[in-house]
Amino acid sequence: FRELLGGVTDSIYFKVKGKYRITQGLEVFASALYARTLFPNSAPGSLYVNGTEDLGVELNAGVRYETEDGFYAQLQYGVLFPLPGFAKQTDPYVQGQTTQLGGSKITLDNPQAIRGVFGIKF
């Protein structure tokens, strides 16, 4: 949620992650993250839903390949499932569900990200 929204304050999260080496140089990894605010008023959705601290659940997965000479390639995917802390309001001027965050409107219907990384370690 931090990358998708550009910054989150007064929050805490719990993250579980793991990785598994399939063969020499090839591994898969995954993580799950649950986030909530420290204070109910800090949640963007507190304007629309009273007493909610739960922000969302984020699931991430990826695969990484690394050769002996230092080349590596990685593919990652992540999805955020917003909870009531990101409560939505219906904007009469924009179709769909939006929420107001710091003066800008963004859609929070399960935002997703996919990232590819290529590099050389030296």
Who has greater pLDDT, 6 or 17?
Answer: 17
**Residue 102 pLDDT > 60, yes or no?**
no
Which has the higher per-residue pLDDT, 79 or 103?
A: 79
* Statement: the pTM of the whole predicted model exceeds 0.75: no
What pLDDT sits at residue 78? 93
Q: Once rounded to an integer, what is the mean pLDDT over residues 94-106?
A: 47
Q: Is the pLDDT of residue 41 over 70?
A: yes
3-class secondary structure, 46: helix
Residue 32: partners with Cβ closer than 8 Å, 6 or more residues away:
15, 16, 17, 57, 58, 59, 60
